[in-house]
Amino acid sequence: MTKSPHLGIDLFAGSGGISYGLLHAGFDMRLGIDIDPNFAFTLKENNKDMKVVVSDIRVLEPTEVVKSAGLRKKDIALIVGGPPCRGFSQSNRRSRNLDNPLNNLYKEFFRFIRVLQPQIFLLENVAGLKTLHKGAVLQDILKIGEKLGYYVQWNIVNAEDFGVPQRRKRIIFIGTKQKTDNLFYVKKNKPLTVRSALDDMPVLENGNVVDELKYSRDSKLSKYQKMMRKNNGNIVSNNLVTKNGRLVMERYNYIPPGGNWRSIPTQLMFNYKNPNNCHGWIYYRLKWDDPSVVISNFRKNMLIHPEQHRGLSVREAARLQSFPDHYVFHGPLTSQQQQVANAVPPLLAEKIGNNIIKYLMEVQ
């Protein structure tokens, strides 16, 4: 395979969703940085040509870390990154403010931009960043980008518009050295459903510990399922499921597709001090014929399979995120779950990446 002339690095790489998508758009993703060793191991195992650095980005010197990957700063076309978003999340009531140090990691992203001066940058995060501190962070990002010599465009995108079977909104900033048209454009098609993504997956029990299993069927596959299964044979991995206790299993019996904790009898919610404080995705059972709701923290959201009385497996969540089935997640179950939940859907990254590649070819 011929190497792309468009080199990219990922500063908050996680398990590699955005890098994998950009790779398939035509970028040569040479360097990934993440602080979590489990996330970094998954990233490396699925991206053999990428130099993976396990470190806190705050202690790294941009020129040196790029040099360690065999790159020169003048070779870098793209720098991407999604700083940890816990501080920006709408569900984070305690530290959703500028005193949370996690809310300042975007400045570390721009420290690399300032030193390396790539042709283009892409910064992504949860949509809640838009309103953090009355929009101060959003305005600061625009101001810093422009001060560094970039034209910055931003948008809140929904993954379902990019061929992902999930309603997932993210805010994305793209900085270019030359002014250009909308880089977020995508031809929208009919949203994909949970059924079109998952109904060929193995039938699983609560707490399943068997990692590799056969698909439930090999015929009558949707176009999306065929794409996810490409080059993967008839065995799929990452079928691990959280083991729920008796009380949780009893609650599942009362929840219909599209229902949530409100469907559970009050007497079964006795360990919640005030159930009315629960948000809508707690004990939410997915609907076969709708896109999935957002895949996020497994423990807090507790999304339920459309038919089976259990939470989602790691692989099912990865399917709903548009990770292909050959993309294997490593580490303890809780880490695998968070690796999937934290990721940018690869298909979303790929389609925006296609627009960026087109821009780079036009300006060269």
Element at 224 (helix H, strand E): helix 223-229
Running DSSP on this structure, what letter comes out for residue 332? S
What is the DSSP secondary-structure string of 158-178?
Answer: EGGGGT-SB--EEEEEEEESS
Q: Where are the beta strands (DSSP E) in 127-245?
A: 151-158, 169-176, 213-214, 235-236
Among residues 71, 77, 79, 85, the one annotated as catalytic is: 85
The answer to whether residue 85 is catalytic is yes
What gap in Å lies between CA 329 and CA 346, rounded to an integer? 14
What gap in Å lies between CA 303 and CA 311, rounded to an integer? 6
Burial class (CB in 10 A: 0-12, 13-18, 19+), 336: buried
Is residue 193 within 8 Å of 165, Cβ to Cβ? yes
Two structure tokens written together for 122: 């892409």
The residue with tokens 């939470």 is 311
Q: Which residues does the annotation mark as catalytic?
A: 85
